Each structure stands twice: as structure tokens, then as C-alpha cells.
A and B are shown apart, each in its own frame.
Chain A
Amino acid sequence: MNAHWQTTNLPRPSDPSSVGPSLIRRIVTEPFFHFAILSIAIFGWFTLAQPGEWSADPDPRVIIIDQRQVDFLAGQFEDTWRRPPTAEELANLKEDWLNREVLYREALAMGLDGNDEIIRNRLVQKMNFLLTSEAGAARPEDEVLQTYLSENAETFTTPARIAASLVYLGQNPSDRFLEQTRTRLAAGEDHRQLGQASLLPTGFDLSARTSVDSNFGTSFFDQLQPLPLGEWSGPVQSSFGLHMVRLDNRWDAVLPPFGAIRDRVLADWREKQAERATEVFIENLRSTYVIEDLGEADHSAGES
């Protein structure tokens, strides 16, 4: 039993007498709250139970390799090679584990784990991992997800797409060339054989803004989108020069039905829950500490 952990102040709703029941219910039905609680509990388990198991060999000069450890090493090997280790390979693994365990214990005894920014960051990361993975396992009701979807519709909207045919006119086409091209297009000539020869594509299938602008420069999509369907317009400016354009197809932005994007909504929702759970958790842990910010008092002049 670790005294430090008994002092942990758990989230307020654990004390119903101080808060109205409806508020409790509201808070407690918030999924992120469950994660925070569950995480605290798991976290508590690591602190309470695991050291208990480890204390089976309390003497730091005694190293016990039990079957579980051996199985773990063998399991790791099998995960890498898809076959169990041979007796010799397993012996090597044990040998290596032992050597590292000895060094590890000596390092701890010398206090080498202290004041090490990398170890500190690593432990912080483990805490975050424990927290967020709990939220990552949540299986909320569809209603929760549907509400989330309607509140974040923009995130899940399939962007507008256009398809177009293009004739490249060059950077500074003469009026005569422009008129000639217009006339030939009007006469129904194959647009792929008109204009100035170039490596630029002579058109594209239904494509989103990101794709169109990646090929022709920023804002090309926005210029094309409102053009009339099925007729030649332009010239329109891209980052390469001027183009005659025929818009061949246009799909507006649309929010797919929930069923089609449930997995995406779920993944996004879980991420948001994990973020909030982490915040709540850290806040609660912080509240169990007395924080004496002496730095601030020294700099009362208020510089940044």
C-alpha cells in the first residue's frame, strides 16, 4: 500500500452530498468522465498491485526469473519470428535479460534515474498512453456518435468535386490565338489537340480542391467551380498561365449518412474523449498537490 496514493483526491462526483444529483448524472454520463475514473483506477492498480507482485523478491540482490518472465521473452521472440525460440535462443534471451536487469538495478541503486529528462518524458508518455488507450476502447451508443456527428458536421463532409477539360493557352496568349482557339472549340474540334503544347494535363476526373490546386496552383478550383457545365469558358488563370475550361461535372459537398462513416466518427470521437479525459485526470491529480510557485513571487513586476 502506497501512502501517496491514499491521498489522491478523486473527481468531485464521488461525494454526492456536495453536488446536486442531476449535475452528477450529467457529469457522470459524460463518457470522458468514465475514462478519467477508469484510468485513475487502473493507474491505482499499477501503483498498488504491481509492486505487490514484484515484492515477491524484496531483496535487491536476488533476481528471480520465473516462468512468466521466461514465457514473456519467448513470446516476444515468437512475435518477431512466428516460431518459438530454440533452447539455445531462449538461453541467450534469458542471459541478455539478466545482464540488463543487473545493470538496471545497479543504475537505480546509484540513483541514475533521477534528473533525467528523457526518463521523465518517457514516464509522462506512459501515463498519457494509459489514459488515452482507455478512451480508445470505449464503445459508445450510436446516439452519442450521431450527436457528435451533427455537432461536427464540417469535419465529416465529403468535399465538393469537379471534373473539367482544359486547353492551355500559354502565359500571354495573343487575342488572335485566343479567338482562334475559341472558334475551333466552338466548331467541336478535339480540345486535346488545341492550344499550346504542354506537359499539363488536358483535363481531370472528379477531383477535390486539394487535388486540383495541387496541380494548377492555389485558387484554381474556386475559379472553376461556379462555371457553367458543359460549355467552354475562360480564359481562367492558373499558376502556369491561361486556360480555356469546360466544366464536365460538379458534385457539391455532402455529409455522408451516419452509417457510411460510423467508423470515422467513432475514431474522431474517441480522440476527443481521450483529450478531455487526460485534461480532467491531470487536473484532478494536480489538485492533490500543494504547488508553491515561488518563481512568480520573485517576478512580481509581471514580465513575460
Chain B
Amino acid sequence: MNTLSIASTIFVFAATAALCQETPPNATANVLKGRPYSPYADRAYPERVYFGDTHVHTSLSADAGGGGTRLMPRDAYRFARGEQVISNTGQPVKLERPFDFYMITDHSDGMGAITDIISGAPNIMADEQGRSFHEAFNQGGEAALRAAQEMTASFAQGTLSPALNYQPGNEAYERVWDNLVTIAEEYYRPGVFTTFAAYEWTSLVSGNNLHRNVILRDGPDKTRQLVPYTTTPPMGSPNPRDLYTWLQTYEDTTGGDALAIAHNGNLSNGWMFSLVDDFAEGTPPLDREYAELRQKWEPLYEWTQYKGDGEAHPFLSPDDTFADFETWDYGNLDSSERKTKEMLPGDYARSGLLRGLALEAELGVNPYKFGASAATDTHTGLTTVAEDNFFGKFTAYEPNPERAVHVGRRFPDGEAAYYSSQYNAAGLTAVWARENTRESIFDAMERREAYGTTGPRMTVRFFGGDYDRDALARRDLARIGYSGGVPMGGDLAAPPDGDAPDFLVYSLRDPNGANLDRIQIIKGWIDGESGEAMEMVYDVAWGGDRSPDAAGKLPPVGSTVDLSIPSWTNSIGAPELGTVWTDPDFDPSELAFYYARVIEIPTPRWTAYDAVKFGTEMPEGTLMTTQERAYTSPIWYTP
């Protein structure tokens, strides 16, 4: 395959450039040629995959706290690092395995409300009495005793000075953001458990979900300098362009690094991956500036979460057997408007990626060049993505015998929009990073070397470039992957001879989870002649003795699920799968993207566990099994 050597050199440089974000340029300039003798010395590519949640609400979010959620950020972090905690409804809960990284993303709107009452009164503790009390308490012993008595007496007589705290430097009355930053710092253990300063910017226009999570790479010295951006004018704005301005301001004034991850396009009624600027007068087509900003600030999108899976929709992808997965297509977030099929292309990740290609052809920049992440959007402070350990989206949906049979929300005319049994116990973000630190994990997100799963922690590698099938027999697949091309999230340039790119993909099942059914590669492209957006799903590797039928369809893997226990066995599928796949229909003149989808064998869904643990009679049509999956960030091909 020497004919591709020039192309592969380009790939190598692309890979090196992608990695430069992690290390000073000089350190990686010659990583892949002139390597040291030791195969382990100076390794600059990420060898570890880390799992975590990028979307967690605690009691500090008004819609969580207002709904009875009591767990605060510290509780959430303790739970995430593996400790047993008491849930909001008083039930003990613990993770099977801790997460590697975690962040609290409470809504920025209303985040300060708790302490506005405090910060509105900045002059409180300026006087003598307050100071002397405070000093006495700090002395402890007799002095504290006297102070306590004196204070009690003052209080009873109504002569207490209005001055018992708030002197500068006392962290007691920090604002909530400062508090969140402090707590993130408290729980950060580089190498073991990484936390981030983060928040959710909850833009909701006419009920259409345009929410973004903002993640900051930095420590308190930088993150404390600004408070989170809100969506309510005049202080904030629901327009993403204004959020981008805030992100730029953050980076300019602090020297820090920020990114944003949008979620729930499935509840945006066509706005998430819109073709027009919905915020501008007359909704003109998107312009190049918007495309640049969106691509710059939003390297990832949340493909799956509690409120439904957002990869693909069966109406848009009728030939994709696995497209109808945990689908939420009733309407927009607040169910004020029903879904119509015209809205769907603006709602889903795959169609968003396709629109991105079309817009790139038009504007020269792809606004929707996003990788894959996944999260929960939990409002209980508890990330519970295992089907047998699902604690629900809201406190009211923590385990109880009736939780699966509620009407989740109704349309204005009273018809049910969705049922609580539809909540999707997902997902987690996996990142390929060199170490478990803020810098390393953030940089992996920024270069889109990430994938989303619906909860299981399967390992997935996906590379595009120039590979031989012999690579599969090698024991250093990662090195081959990086040296022969680019990892997930990367870009492939045009090969000079028009040869089709190869994709090296492999996956290892969750060590404590189910076997793998198959690996698929999904290709999206813009047809050169018709200009139409096209997509194709390829089964590229599968477990068990199966072969595609005459129509090219691989038969289902079967099922070992026993709903009466419920249980399954790893007697079907395979613990690991991998292959080198070459695009059979490659046209070097067409814009395209490729991503991998890894599907597990069927396992019991959370509703199956509820049915057995509580004896809940599930309504007809309730899904009782699932096939968990992982979505990798795409690799883009640009002629």
C-alpha cells in the first residue's frame, strides 16, 4: 500500500497536530519518526480511556431543589467517586464502579438566587460586636463559652448587632459559583478523580431546547474571575452567539480555556441543527461567522441522555435497524408544540452532521462539526446509568413502585406527551487521554477524541487512514492506529491517488457488562451529482456464527434475557471485536463523515428490574430489554 504513502504522511502530521494540544509542540514534533528505542518512552498518544458524566444537577438547580432534591454538590461528588450516599428519598445508593471524572452543571439562571439575599447586603459585619464574637469563637474554650452566652443574651434582648459575618476573606458567604469552584477543587484528585468548574446555560426559546453545558479547563484562579452566563435578558441572553461572546471573554480575560456541549436537540423542534439563524430578524440563512463560532466553541454534542437518545430517528433513517432507540419525538421540551417530520433533521446528531456537510459546501465552514459525548442530565445529584441501579431523572422518579407508570408530561390539550417509562438510563462520556487530569481530559474533549455510551464502559478505538488487515494481528494496535492515520474526531485530507480510506475499529466489552453484538460504521456524505445528503450503515464486525443475508442485512444476535430474574448471559456475541474496513463506495470529490456504533447484546432494561423488584405491572408496550451502545466521534473527510 505504498501508493498511499504521501497521504499517510499527511495523516501523520494531522495526528501530531491533534496531539499538540496536550503537550508543548516541541515535545511532540518528532514523536512518530526517530522514536527512541524504548517503545514506551515519550509516548505522546493517549493510552487510557476515562469515563464520566458531563451533565449533573444538584439541589442548587431550581428545578431540582424545587422538586425536592436535597443532594448538594459535595454529595454528588462523593457518590461519583464511589461512596455510598443516601438518596433524596432516603434510599442508600452506591455505584458499582466509581467514575474517573465528573462535573456539576447546575443551571446558571437562578444559581445565585440563594445568595442574592446575602450579596445584596455587603456591609453586614463591619462593626465591633460581630468581630469580637468571631474572634472569641475562634479562640474556643472559655472565650467561646462567654461569647455564646453573650450572643444568646443579645439575641434574646433584640440588641444583637447586625454584624455577624461577611468580613472580606471569610468564605462562609461566598456566592454559589465560588462555592462550586471551591468544592470542585476539594474533590479533585489528579490521577484518580477529576472535577471541573462547569454550569448549564439553559436557553429555552418558545419551549425549544437549546441548552448548553459550559466546561472550563482551569483552576479557581481563573474560573472565579467570571460568574456563569445566564439566559435571561438583560443580564444574559438565550442566543448562542451571546454565549460565544461570553466564552471568548472568559478566555481573553483569564487566559483560560472553555468549551460548550449542547444537548437534547430531540426536544428543540428543529432548532438545534437549524439551517437558519432563528434569532435574527427574518431568520436569514446561517452565515460563515456563525459557522466558525459554533465549530470553535462546540467540539462535542451530547448524543444520548436520560431524556432520550439523539443519534438518529427512524423516519430519517428508515434502513437503519437500530435507529429507533429510546426515541423521544413528542415535541419540544415543554410540550407546547408537537413534533412534525419537517423538524426532525434539525433534531438529531446524524442529520445534524449531514447538514454540517451541506453548510460547509455552501459557507466554506462546517458549523456542525461535533464529536460524540453522552451524559445523564440527572436532577438528583446521582448519575445512575446502570439499568439495575437507575435512580431516575428527578427525585420523584427515584425507585418506587409507581415511577414507571406516570405520565411524564402532557400537551396543552391534555394528551400525554411522554410516559415516565421512557426515561433512558444513559449515558457516559468516554475520553482518550494520557492521564486523569483536567488538562488531559478537557483537551481530549476539545480535539473530539471522545465517544458516548448509553452507560456501559466498553473500550472503543476508531482510526481513519491507511491500514492493512494485518494490523489486527498486531499487539500494539494503538500505535498502529495513530501512526497510520487519525483517531476519532480527526480529519482526513484527500488522498492524491483517490484511494479509499481505511478505518481501523475495535472494541472491548465492559469488563463487568454484556458481550458485543456488532460494530457498525455509519457514513454520511453529500452526493456529488444531486447534492443530496446520503447515509449508509455498514456492519463491519460481529460476534457469533452469522453472515449477512442476500439484502446485506446481518441477522440479529438473538437474546439470552430472562425477564423473570431479570438476567442475561454472555453466551452470545463476543467480548471483543475489531476490523479494518475500507469504504467500498468512496468518491474522493465528496464531503463525508464516518463514525462507529458499537452495539451490545440484549440485556434487561431498568423497567425489567422495576417489574421484578417492585412487582410493578408495566403498561403494554413498555420496553423491557435494551441493546446498549457506544457512538464514536466522527472522522471527517474533506476533498
Q: A214 is contacted by which of B142, B227, B457 (Cβ under 8 Å)?
A: B457
Within 90-145 of B, Cβ neighbours of A (below 8 Å) are at 96-98, 112-115, 117, 119-121, 124, 133, 137-138, 140-142, 144-145
B226 touches A80 (CB 8 A): yes
B164 touches A122 (CB 8 A): no
| Residue B65 at the chain A interface, CB threshold 8 Å | yes
B477 touches A199 (CB 8 A): yes
| Residue A82 at the chain B interface, CB threshold 8 Å | yes
* Contact partners of B171 in chain A: CB under 8 A: 133, 136-137
Within 245-278 of B, Cβ neighbours of A (below 8 Å) are at 246, 249, 253
Q: A79 is contacted by which of B155, B174, B227, B473 (Cβ under 8 Å)?
A: B227
| Residue A18 at the chain B interface, CB threshold 8 Å | no
A210 touches B158 (CB 8 A): no
A34 to B148, CA, bound (A): 7
A80 touches B235 (CB 8 A): yes
Name, among B114, B154, B249, B459, the residue most crowded by chain A CB atoms within 10 Å (CB to CB).
B114
Name, among A25, A37, A45, A199, the residue most crowded by chain B CB atoms within 10 Å (CB to CB).
A199
* Contact partners of B475 in chain A: CB under 8 A: 192-193, 197, 202
Q: A199 is contacted by which of B119, B230, B253, B576 (Cβ under 8 Å)?
A: B576
Name, among A16, A42, A44, A264, the residue most crowded by chain B CB atoms within 10 Å (CB to CB).
A42
Contact with B along A188-211 (1 / 0, CB 8 A): 000011000111101000001010
Within 222-236 of B, Cβ neighbours of A (below 8 Å) are at 225-230, 233-236
| Residue A248 at the chain B interface, CB threshold 8 Å | no
Given the known interface contacts A10-B155, A96-B233, A199-B578, the answer about A122 and B62 at a Cβ–Cβ threshold of 8 Å is: yes
A34 to B144, CA, bound (A): 8
* Contact partners of B140 in chain A: CB under 8 A: 29, 31, 141
Nearest neighbor of A140 in chain B, beta-carbon distance = B140
B160 touches A76 (CB 8 A): no
| Residue A216 at the chain B interface, CB threshold 8 Å | yes
A198 to B140, CA, bound (A): 62
| Residue B589 at the chain A interface, CB threshold 8 Å | no
Q: A118 is contacted by which of B62, B174, B512 (Cβ under 8 Å)?
A: B62
Nearest neighbor of B153 in chain A, beta-carbon distance = A14
B164 touches A38 (CB 8 A): yes
Q: Is the interface of A mostly helix, strand, loop or mixed?
A: helix
| Residue A19 at the chain B interface, CB threshold 8 Å | no
| Residue B162 at the chain A interface, CB threshold 8 Å | yes
Within 26-49 of A, Cβ neighbours of B (below 8 Å) are at 28-29, 31, 33-34, 37-38, 40-42, 44-46, 48-49
| Residue A1 at the chain B interface, CB threshold 8 Å | yes
A241 to B530, CA, bound (A): 51
Contact with B along A77-97 (1 / 0, CB 8 A): 101111000000100110110
| Residue B511 at the chain A interface, CB threshold 8 Å | yes
* Contact partners of A136 in chain B: CB under 8 A: 171-172
Within 169-227 of B, Cβ neighbours of A (below 8 Å) are at 170-174, 179, 186, 192, 225-227
B82 touches A77 (CB 8 A): no
Within 106-138 of A, Cβ neighbours of B (below 8 Å) are at 117-119, 121-122, 125-126, 129, 133-134, 136-137
| Residue B508 at the chain A interface, CB threshold 8 Å | yes
- CB of A293 to closest CB in B, whole Å: 20
* Contact partners of B117 in chain A: CB under 8 A: 46, 126
* Contact partners of A48 in chain B: CB under 8 A: 158, 160, 162
Given the known interface contacts A24-B145, A80-B229, the answer about A45 and B511 at a Cβ–Cβ threshold of 8 Å is: no
Interface residues of B (CB under 8 A from A): 59, 62, 65-68, 74, 82, 96-98, 112-115, 117, 119-121, 124, 133, 137-138, 140-142, 144-145, 148-149, 151-156, 158, 160, 162-165, 170-174, 179, 186, 192, 225-230, 233-236, 246, 249, 253, 457, 459, 461, 473-475, 477, 506-508, 511-512, 575-576, 578
Q: List 6 A-B contacts (CB under 8 A).
A: A41-B133, A42-B164, A79-B226, A121-B65, A197-B474, A213-B511
Interface residues of A (CB under 8 A from B): 1, 6, 8, 10-11, 13-14, 16, 24-25, 28-29, 31, 33-34, 37-38, 40-42, 44-46, 48-50, 52-53, 68, 72, 76-77, 79-82, 89, 92-93, 95-96, 117-119, 121-122, 125-126, 129, 133-134, 136-137, 139, 141, 171, 192-193, 197-200, 202, 208, 210, 213-218, 238-241, 263-264, 267, 271
Known: A14-B153, A29-B144. 16 other contacts (CB 8 A): A13-B148, A24-B145, A28-B145, A37-B152, A38-B165, A44-B160, A48-B160, A72-B119, A82-B226, A96-B234, A117-B66, A134-B172, A199-B508, A199-B576, A210-B97, A240-B511
